Structure formats: C-alpha cells, structure tokens
Structure 1
Amino acid sequence: MKKSIFGFFLIGILSTSNVSAQETFKVMFYNLLNYPLEDAVPNREDDLELTLSDYQPDLFLVCELNNITGANNVLNICRTAINSNFEMATYVSNTSDDFAGNQNDLQNLLYYDSTKFILEEEIIVPTALRDFNIYRLKLNTTDQDTNPIEFYVVVCHLKASSGTLNAQRRFDMVVALENYLDTLPADTNVLLGGDLNIYTASEPAFQELLDNTNNITFADPANRVGSWNNNPNFVDVFTQSTRTQNGFGGSTGGFDDRFDFILTSENMINTTNITYVANSYQVYGNNSLFSCYNSAINSSDCGIAGSQFSFTVRDALHNFSDHLPVTLSLEIDATLLSVNDVSVLANFSIEKTITDYELIVYVNSIKLKNNYLIIYNSTGQKVKTLPISSDYKQQFDVSDLSNGLYFLAIPNQNIKPLKFIIYN
C-alpha cells in the first residue's frame, strides 16, 4: 500500500503537469552597427526599442557590440521594450586577433528571456579574426530534470568584403567552428545567427556549413539557397544595405545583399524536440518588393499600401543600422514553468542537501514569507510543518527526524519540492 501512496505522492508534488503543451519562441539576429560608438544618428536607442517592442523576441542575438556600456544599454532596452525578465550572457571582448592587429571592439552577445531559458554554458571559439560565441541553453520546462530540452546558440560575424582572400578567411573561420561542433553529439540541436558576409551559396564557407558529412550539418530554413549578391530575385531575403545616402555610418549601397542569416542544424527542421516553425523565417522590415532593390529601406519603393512593415518601422530600422534583423520561430512540445514559478524557484533554496540536525533554508520572495513549509518522507507521509518567517536565512531543527531522504514542499505553490537527506 505504501508504494501506491508514494506513487500518487510523486505524481502530485514532483511534477506540475502531466500534459504537454506546444510553446513557441521568437528569435531575432541583428547587426547593431558599431553600437554604441557609431553616433552619426542621435538617440538611435529609440529606434532599437521600437523594433524590439514590435517583434518581441524571446532570444535576441547580436553582433557589432563595442563595449560593456553598449551591452548593458541593450539589456535595459530589452527589459523596457520586451519584458523585465531579460538577461544577457557574459560580455567578453573579442579574443581573436586581426592579421593587421587587434580588433577587439566588435563583439557578439546573446540576450534571453530568463523565465523561458536557462543559460548553462558559454563557449568561445577563437579564429584569426573574430570569435564565435556559443551558448548552451535549456528550456525552463516543468519536467526539465527528467526530460531536458537543450540546444546551442552560435552567434558570429564573418570577415567582410568580396575577393578570393576574404572568402578564404571566411572559410577558415567556419572550419574553426566546425572543429568545435565535431566535439558535440551528432544529434545536438544548434541554432546559428550571424552576419556571414557571404555573396553566394557556392562560397566555400557556406558550403562548409551545409556539408552533410559534418558532425553537425546546417540548413537554410528560408530554403533560399542561391547567388544573392545584386540579384533582385532574392530580394525577399536581402538584409543589407538599408541606406543609399552618406552620413549615417555603415554601408550606403542600397538594398542588394543577403549577409545576415539564422541557420538551424538539419535535425531542427522537423525531427527533434525543438523544431523550426515552417514558413516563420523572415527578414524583419523587408516587404519582399522587387522595387526595393537598390533602394533605401524607408523609401516608398520598399513599402506600399497593405505592406506588412510600415514606414515607421522601416524608418527606425534605416536609422539604427545598415542591416535588417533576421527572425524565425521555434516550437517545443512541452510545458514551461510559469513566470511566478520561475521567480519562486530562484528565491527559494536549501543551503545543504545533506544535513544532520539543522536544515537551513534561504527565502528571498515576498510571496513565500509568512507561509509554511511541509517536510515529507520518502513514502509521501507528512512528517513536519515549518513556519516561514520574514528572514532571508532561516534555520529549522530536524533532529527529531531519522536518517533518510526527505522532500521540502510549499503548499499552494505550483513548484517542485526540494530534496534533502538527513544523515548523522
């Protein structure tokens, strides 16, 4: 009978739901154009805030950050424009060296909604020019302990400019990335966002990314592989340049290139626990108009009556950067923890999971204070009730409990209990 009781107990308190739900996440990659040192356009933070407010990404991947001040500014904009739960990965200046000397002022970074993602690892893959910054993320699902959904995010910025030498340098950079990816399991989920500066799909760097003999093979979710440069047949995936006039910084060539990408590992197209949402790939601000070829993105050539992206949006994009952001959506078949649950979990912990006579609990949530804790034994029986005070650090006498495994639960809270062992 005890086994049955314990089975129901585990179902009741060790999981918050036994029904999966589909969750969708929005991803954006954006070249920030030498932010914040490029100051030809005043107050361009307002333009970035408008873009983020409109699209509302859950993951925001960026390149061309100059310094920690800019990184923190972008974080604050994310918290204002999207939600206050946004966090950023560790800002680290570029560790790679240019052949002509150090070029440490163009850095990649990841911003993420901390209620949905847990940042588990940060990796730097150096090259001869700029780092690949790689982040291992876990979805903050209700069953993350027993059925974790993890994936890697690569943020990059390959060598710019045309010519055989620059194409070779882009290829060498991608080889360095592939050498790292060869160390991961072949079924790893990988998302890559970057300014690849590639003019055609036949370029060796792009072919290396798509090589199906690699441990991790990438796919183009847009399914628009071809020769993009100055080819208006690919205007729907053009990302650069948003400008035709001088004085704003960056390129002024008009809309004629596909430099910015989000690629996924092939398994993320339709076969893994985190997948690309079909037809969700889009260049944000690009209305896919043939007339926009070689024009400024805020011109009348790039928007007509009924177009998805208004003049207001396109003007903000024009003012902020010479690139457009690239976006797509991902989907999982699982249930996320609620915002309240995530907040509670972050502010409720045990000092030691193996203790003797004293249990020390840290409570840093107004929601939990003046509530109470319940200790259950390994068969699911309630053995002790503990009142929670208003103190952050709280000490409880558990000397009356025998050696064994116990669970510390909070009534009326949709979170998993904490496990601890008494051993003396």
Structure 2
Amino acid sequence: MRNLLFIGVFVLHVFLLQGQDTLTVVQYNLLNYGNYTSYCTTANNNINDKDNYLKTIINYLRPDIFSVNEISKSESIHQHLLDQVLNTNGVTYYRKAEFLSEAYSYLVNMLYYNKDKLAMHSHYIAQSYIRDIDVYKLYYRSDDLPQGDTAFIICVVAHLKASSGSDNENKRKIMAENTMNYLNDLNDEDNYLMMGDFNVYSNNEDAYQQFLFYSNPDLRFNDPVDQYGNWHNNSYYSPYHTQSTHSTSNGCASTGGMDDRFDFILISNSIMNGTKEVSYVSESYRAVGQDGQHFNKAVNDSPTNTSVPPDVLNALAYNSDHLPVLMKLAVDKTLGTREFSGLFEDVRLVNPAGSYLDIRLWGKEQSVMELSIYNVLGEPVMNESIHLNRGENHIVRSIQNLKPGMYFVRISDKNSNMLVRKLLKY
C-alpha cells in the first residue's frame, strides 16, 4: 500500500511537471565565417576571434535549433564550428546537418541542433538559383516516439540575393518563388519555419509577398511580431532592425548602423495556431542585442545598450554585421526535458535511454544530492549521493542492468526538495 501511494505521488508530480517543452530557435548570419576574401581577411574577420565571440553568444542563448548563413562551403569549417564553438565547456549535445550543395556557392547555410531533444529526419535543397535554400526536417524525441508519434519541425533556411535595385529584387523573388513551389510539391503538412537573411527592404517586396501570400493558403507564413512596412532606414522599426551592427568600416562588415530588417524567422499557420503540437511562445521573438535606441548607430554606441550583458554585446558588435534573431517554440510533448525548479536553473534528461542515464544539471550552488531511480512499483533500483557544482554538471551512469520499461528518476536534497522525471529505458 505504501509503495502504491508513493508511486501515485510520483505520477502526479511528473504529470504536473511535464507535458510541454520549450525549444529556443536562433537564426544568425555569421559574416564570412571561415571564408577569407580580399576584404574579409585574417586581420578583420579572423576565425579564432569569431570563435570566441560565438562561444559567448551561444553560451548566453543556448539554442536548440541554430541556423546560420554565410559560413564557408568547406565541410571542415562546418565541423570546426561544431567542435570549437558549440560542443565546448562540457557541452556535447550539439549535432550538425549533412552538407548538400547544388549551387556551389562559396558561402552556404548550415543547421545545428540539440540532439538530446531533436533528431534529423531529412535534408533537401529547395532551389539552387544563385544560392542553395536548404530544407531541414527535424523531429522531436518525445516519449511516444516508439509508437511512431512525434512532432516535426521543418526549417527552411534561405540567404536571398543582396543589394537594392529592381534587378536584385527580381532575383530575390525568383529564389522565393522557387522555394515555395518546391514546398508545395513536397506536400508535407507539418510545422514550418522560414528563416534566414532575406535582404528585403520592405514587406512589399515580391520575395516577401511570396512567403506571406503564396497561392496555397496552407503554406503561407506569418511574422511573429506582426511588423509590416518599409523597414529600411525607418526609425519606427528600430526595435526590429538586424543590420548593421557597425557604424564605421573595418573593411569587412557593412556600415551605416542599425537601419535594416534583413533577418527573419517566419512561422507557418500550424505553428501560429498550435494545431500540430508545436506553437509560438507569445512575445518570445526578438533581435538579440537590439534595444531600439541605436537607429543608424553601432549596436554598442551611446546610449549604453543594456538589452544583453556587456560581454555578449561586445561579441555581437564584432562577430558579424547582423544580429541574430531568436524565438521560442512550445512543444506539446514530454521528455527531452528542459525544465526548472528551485534547485536548478536548467535540467536536461536524455530520453529514451539505452545503456546509460545521461543528465545535465545547471546548479544554482554547490550541493550534495541523492540520485535515485524507481520502477513503476515504487521500488528503488538505484541510489547514490552526487556532488553538484554551481553551473553545469554532467551525470552519466550505467543502467545496463535495468530491464526495458518505464522508470522514475528522482534528485532530492536533505530538505526533501525533489525533482522527478519519467525515464523510458529501451
């Protein structure tokens, strides 16, 4: 009877804590990352300097989906970003997409993702006029994945033709039209993100109109912040401008200060309305480092920009001439959790698990905790004390002796505060 009561409390606790996860999505133009030219050189765009800036930015944002433009076509550079920026300081959970190329541009797109929460389903090229536009289909590692049920997110990553003028506008239109026609032919009715550096100057440009008003209404995209107008050199849209972080020239970055909205993450109707288990988290969309007070100024000019910590602002100012854009998605699935409690700032449990229990905890202070695993009858099958440091802790324990099935992981302190997670062992 005592065990049944115990497990009842466990189930209730898990039910209250789980049921929805949050994904952080970041899109960023990296400005010739790993690609040297006559104007972007080792002196003014050095990859080692950019790595340090990016590590500061990534550590602050902790994206689950990270799409980039303007990275070198070299696959060794794609791996370099993964190994030297993302999977550093104890982090090991980032993975990258397979590289595909049809346009053979010297600058390409790439997508990185948190493998504890997401997995890559497929990768296609939507169109290759001027530059490739990539279509990455991810799926969420949910607890009903073994039954074939999960949530999908399709990231369409684009870098449209740059510069003003009718000829360049028409080229952007062709790229956008090709992409939308490809998605229409793909006929994959899932959650879509249209993301990238679009290089558009207003919402009236034909390329942008293709995304918002495509002939198939099921494929139309939405601006999460609902800001339509002539963005270029218009102070009214200062809170949404993403370029340029520089007011003076260093020979590589564009200049002129913050006066263009080039970078976007648009969302499909299914995400806008939450009809396919993924929804936009209201008011989560932002241009990171944009305080709305630096129209035609560098992002770190006076007045003091307090929208991000000083070290992050410095990194944003010097890494690229674009600001990253960020938004959050709510996933109506359980597992692969990233949740919060009074004990921890962040908790991530790899689920389902095979031979090893894999947990990352961001502790608020040094402490000694009890780590326990219980079966569905409330019987302990593992118990040990663990010493946690302030900041990130990575705990890996063998569970090879456990039979496949459902378990409950409990982490508790001496004051009976506890954190409980459901674990599926396969």
After TM superposition, is the score higher than 0.5? yes
Q: Deviations over 1:168-225 (max 9, x none)?
A: 1101001111111113447421012100000010000001100153241000001111
Counterpart of 1:334? Answer: 333
Given that 1:53 and 1:82 are in contact with CA atoms closer than 8 Å, whether structure 2 keeps it comes out as: no
8 Å CA contact 1:188, 1:216 repeated in 2:
no
- Residue from 398, 401, 417 that aligns with 1:367: 398
What TM-score comes out, normalization by structure 1 length? 0.74
- 1:187-198 aligned at under 5 Å gives the runs 187-198=189-200
Q: For the residues of structure 1 that align with 2:334 and 2:213, how far apart are their CA atoms?
A: 34
Is 1:53 equivalent to 2:49 in the alignment?
Answer: no
Give yes or no for contact 2:28–2:322 (8 Å, CA) kept in 1.
yes
Aligned position for 2:344: none
Deviation at 1:236, TM superposition (A): 0.6
Pair 1:285–1:175, CA change in 2 (3 A): same
**Which amino acid counterpart does residue 256 of structure 2 have in structure 1?**
G
Residues 10-25 of structure 1 mapped to structure 2, 5 A cutoff: 21-25=19-23
Structure 1, unaligned runs of 5 or more:
1-16, 97-102, 349-364, 374-407, 419-424
CA distance in 2, matches of 1:139, 1:65: 26
**Structure 2 residue aligned with 1:30, among 28, 31, 40?**
28
**SS of structure 1 residue aligned to 2:88:** helix
| 1:314 counterpart letter in structure 2 | L
Question: Equivalent residue for 2:87?
Answer: 79
Query: How far off is 1:267 after superposition?
Result: 2.1
Q: Which amino acid aligns with 1:269?
A: M
Q: Which residue of 2 aligns with 1:249?
A: 252
Q: Distance in 2 between matches of 1:411 and 1:51?
A: 36
Structure 2 residue aligned with 1:171, among 158, 173, 194? 173
Aligned-partner residue type, residue 116 of structure 1: K
- 1:320 is aligned to 319
The 3 A distance-change label for structure 1 pair 279 and 200 is same
Structure 1 residue aligned with 2:300: 298
CA distance in 2, matches of 1:78, 1:263: 25
Q: Distance in 1 between matches of 2:114 and 2:34?
A: 23
> Could you report, residue by residue, the CA deviation over 1:309-355 in whole angstroms, capped at 9, with x for unpaired residues?
2443222111100100000000012212465544733889xxxxxxx
Q: Give the AA of the match of 2:139.
A: K
Q: How does 1:408-423 map to 2 (within 5 A)?
A: 416=424
Seen in structure 2, the aligned counterparts of structure 1 residues 267 and 412 have a Cα distance that, compared at 3 Å, is closer
Question: Which letter maps to 2:121?
Answer: E
Taking structure 2 as the reference length, what is the TM-score of the superposition?
Answer: 0.74
Quick one: structure 1 residues 85 and 120, their matched pair in 2 at CA, closer, same or farther if it must change by over 3 Å?
same
More divergent stretch after superposition (181-190 vs 145-154): 181-190
Aligned residue type for 1:285: G
How far has the Cα of 1:147 moved from its partner?
2.9
SS in 2 for 1:34: strand
Which amino acid is 1:225 matched to?
Y
Q: 1:257 to 1:81 in 2, by over 3 A?
A: farther
Conserved in 2, the CA contact under 8 Å of 1:240 and 1:255?
yes
Q: Give the corresponding residue for 1:137.
A: 138
SS of residue matched to 2:137: strand
Amino acid at match of 2:77: G
User: Residues 57-206 of structure 1: matches in 2 within 5 Å?
Assistant: 57-66=63-72, 67-76=74-83, 77-80=85-88, 83-92=91-100, 94-96=101-103, 104-144=105-145, 145-185=147-187, 187-206=189-208
Structure 2 distance, partners of 1:186, 1:261, is 22
Which residue number corresponds to residue 259 of structure 1?
Answer: 262
Rounded to whole Å, the distance in 1 between the matches of 2:279 and 2:45 is 38
Identity, % of aligned pairs? 31
AA partner of residue 28 (structure 1): V
CA distance change for structure 1 residues 319 and 248 in 2, over 3 Å: closer, same or farther?
Answer: farther
User: What letter matches 1:191 in structure 2?
Assistant: L
Q: Verify the 8 A CA contact 1:32 1:64 in the aligned structure 2.
A: yes
| Paired amino acid for 2:70 | E
1:216 and 2:234 are equivalent in the alignment: no
Amino acid at match of 1:167: E
Q: Is the 8 A contact 2:71 2:108 kept in 1?
A: yes
Matched residues in 1 for 2:86 and 2:251: separation?
A: 24
Amino acid at match of 1:331: A
The alpha-carbon distance between structure 1 residues 126 and 368, as it changes in their structure 2 partners (threshold 3 A), is: same
CA change 1:366–1:23 in 2 (3 A) is closer
Quick check: which has more Rg, 1 or 2?
1
Q: Secondary structure at the match of 1:312?
A: helix
Q: CA RMSD in A?
A: 2.6
What is the number of residues matched between the two proteins? 340
Question: Equivalents in 2 of 1:224, 1:91: separation in Å?
Answer: 33
Query: Contact 2:160–2:198 (CA<8 Å) still a contact in 1?
Result: yes
Distance change >3 Å, CA 211–CA 133, structure 1 → 2 = same
Seen in structure 2, the aligned counterparts of structure 1 residues 347 and 119 have a Cα distance that, compared at 3 Å, is: farther
- Equivalents in 2 of 1:234, 1:346: separation in Å? 52
Between the aligned partners of 2:402 and 2:284, the Cα distance in structure 1 is 46
Task: Choose 31-40 or 198-207, whichever is displaced more.
Answer: 31-40
Paired with 1:74 and 1:246, the residues of 2 have a C-alpha distance of 26
Unaligned runs of 5+ in 2: 1-13, 338-347, 358-395, 410-421
- After superposition, the C-alpha distances for 1:272-292 in whole angstroms (9 at most, x for unaligned) are 210111111100010111xx1
Tell me if structure 1 keeps the 8 A contact 2:126–2:183.
Answer: no
1:53-84, CA deviations, whole angstroms, 9 ceiling, x for partnerless residues? 11111111101110223211221211126831
Tell me if structure 2 keeps the 8 A contact 1:49–1:81.
no
